[in-house]
Amino acid sequence: MTKAVTTVSEEGFSATNEVREFETTIDANGEDAPDTLEALLSAYGSCYVPALRVGGQQRGVDDLGKIEINTTGELNDDDKLESVTFDIRVEATVDDDTGEKIIERAFELCKVHDALKDSLHAETTIEGNAF
């Protein structure tokens, strides 16, 4: 299987991405749309949500309910991504031990995580019964 995206930039630093029948815009300057790193962080968090749900099911929590991930990317002096932090809140009651097991399994399942270099492994917290 192959995934395909067509990226087009008519001028400047903004680009339109055609993904199947969908279209997204990313602006490297962040003026007219999310910038490239914001788009990456969005994809990482979006990929981690289903990984958390499956990880929860596999670790004895059948339904995590509402999930909220606040993703923070710290930049280095060259404005490149240096670290990622996930602060996760879930509706279900999850003890610390189970939460850690779910987090570990979710990282194993997350395809975006798998594609990132090891130094960008997201530092993670999880808060159960948050809603």
| pLDDT per position as a tens digit, 41-58 | 999 999 999 999 999 999
36-127 has which CATH code?
A: 3.30.300.20
Quote the CA–CA distance of 109 and 115 in Å, as a whole number. Answer: 11
Tell me the backbone φ, ψ of residue 4, rounded to 5 degrees: -135, 135
Q: Please compute Rg for the chain using Cα positions.
A: 17
Type of residue at 42: S
The answer to whether 127 and 96 have CB atoms below 8 angstroms apart is no
Where in the sequence of the chain do the CATH 3.30.300.20 domains occur? 36-127
Give this prediction's pTM. 0.87
Tell me the backbone φ, ψ of residue 34, rounded to 5 degrees: -55, 145
pLDDT digits (tens, 9 = 90+) for 34-45: 999 999 999 999
- Between strands 67-75 and 81-90, the pairing is antiparallel
